[in-house]
Amino acid sequence: RNYLHFESISSTNDYAKEIAPSATDGTAIVAEEQTSGRGRMGRHWVSNKGQGIWLSMILKPNLSPNEAVKLTQVAAVAVVDSIKEIADIRSGIKWPNDIVINSKKVCGILTEMNGEIDRVNFIVIGIGINVNVQNFPEDLCGKATSLSIETGKILDRKPLTASILNNFEKYYRIFLINGFSSIRNLCKEYSLTLNKDVKVIINNNECIGRAVDIDDDGNLIVVFKNGEKKTIASGDVSV
Ligand code: BTN
């Protein structure tokens, strides 16, 4: 496997996108520190030295873009398994791709894609896990946590990184062979969103409904008060 390690980098996702055209499927990039770590929706991602796993994977699956976005959820399932394996603590998935412990976010996933309408050139899955972070900036207090805060232990990041790469590879293969439906049950089992009320933005309006299912395509099925059922493909859903 192609594995690149940096002491310091702007963002592993940015670097991954830069080298992706000539990189092989499965290339992993890990940094001790990111100077401009990015989150979803243009947000900043705190990525201090040695405090977490800042990892990006370059994938070149033979898929259409709307199939490839499901890889985010494949990654989320792998992370939940690895956190259990290495830190011996249960986490769950806030659909589609935040990993949460005790209602606080411990890991975020940023998936970026390059391709045409019917074909993906490459996809970059960025995973950020707060491992040994002890305090968060004020705006994240109450919202973010780390494995160390939750377990009361300092954790070795190497075995956790290795476990994530192994688990992801396992589920990635299953997904490529059998499709998302083969991962669906785990997504549902690990989901913290199912059977909860969620806020969904539809045409700029905030609507509250109940999440009742994750379908064979990884979409969230939400039923609203008026009985209307909607299939939510992505976007910001908050409990
Ligand atoms: C989010 O929840 O908003 C997604 C956070 C993703 C953070 C990871 S850390 C490794 C990779 N490089 C980045 O700049 N971001 C992702």
ipTM of the complex, rounded to two decimals: 0.99
- Spatial contact of 223 and 229, defined as CB atoms under 8 Å apart: yes
In this predicted structure, the answer to whether residue 91 has a pLDDT above a threshold of 70 is yes
Contacts of 180 by beta carbon, 8 Å cutoff, 6+ apart: 67, 70, 73, 74, 216, 217, 218
- Spell out which residues line ligand 1, taking CB within 6 angstroms: 11-13, 34, 37-40, 43, 45, 47, 54-56, 98, 108-110, 126-128
- Spatial contact of 78 and 167, defined as CB atoms under 8 Å apart: yes
Q: Which CATH number fits domain 197-238: 3.40.50.300, 3.40.50.880, 2.30.30.100, 3.40.50.620?
A: 2.30.30.100
Atom of ligand 1 nearest to the CA of 11: 14
Nearest to 202 by CA among 229, 164, 175, 173: 229
**pLDDT band per the 50, 70, 90 thresholds, residue 1:** low
What confidence tens digit (pLDDT) does each residue in 208-233 have? 999 999 999 899 999 998 899 999 98
Instruction: Give me the helices (H) in the chain, please.
Output: 12-19, 65-68, 71-87, 147-151, 157-178, 181-190
**pLDDT band per the 50, 70, 90 thresholds, residue 202:** confident
Question: Token pair for residue 153?
Answer: 């232990």
Please report, to the nearest 10 degrees, the dihedral formed by the alpha carbons of residues 228, 231, 234, 238 taken in order.
40
pTM assigned to the model: 0.96
In this predicted structure, the answer to whether residue 15 has a pLDDT above a threshold of 60 is yes
Average pLDDT taken over every residue of the chain: 94
Domain with CATH 3.30.930.10 in the chain: 3-190
**pLDDT band per the 50, 70, 90 thresholds, residue 36:** very high
Mean pLDDT of 181-198: 96
Ligand 1 centroid from CA 57, angstroms: 12
Ligand 1 centroid from CA 207, angstroms: 27
Ligand 1 centroid from CA 81, angstroms: 19
Beta partners for residue 114, in sequence order? 122
- Spatial contact of 99 and 197, defined as CB atoms under 8 Å apart: no
What confidence tens digit (pLDDT) does each residue in 122-156 have? 999 999 999 999 999 999 989 999 999 999 999 99
How many helices and strands, by DSSP H and E, does the chain display? 6, 12
What confidence tens digit (pLDDT) does each residue in 61-78 have? 999 998 988 999 999 999
Give the range among 13-22, 118-127, 193-202 with minimum mean pLDDT: 193-202
Domain boundaries 3-190, CATH class: alpha beta
Look-up of token digits 């910001």: 236
- Spatial contact of 39 and 110, defined as CB atoms under 8 Å apart: yes
Domain with CATH 2.30.30.100 in the chain: 197-238
Q: Give the HSE-up count for residue 24: Cα atoms under 13 Å, Cβ half-sphere.
A: 4
Ligand 1 centroid from CA 40, angstroms: 7
Atom of ligand 1 nearest to the CA of 108: 2
Displacement of CA 18 from its chain's centroid (Å): 21
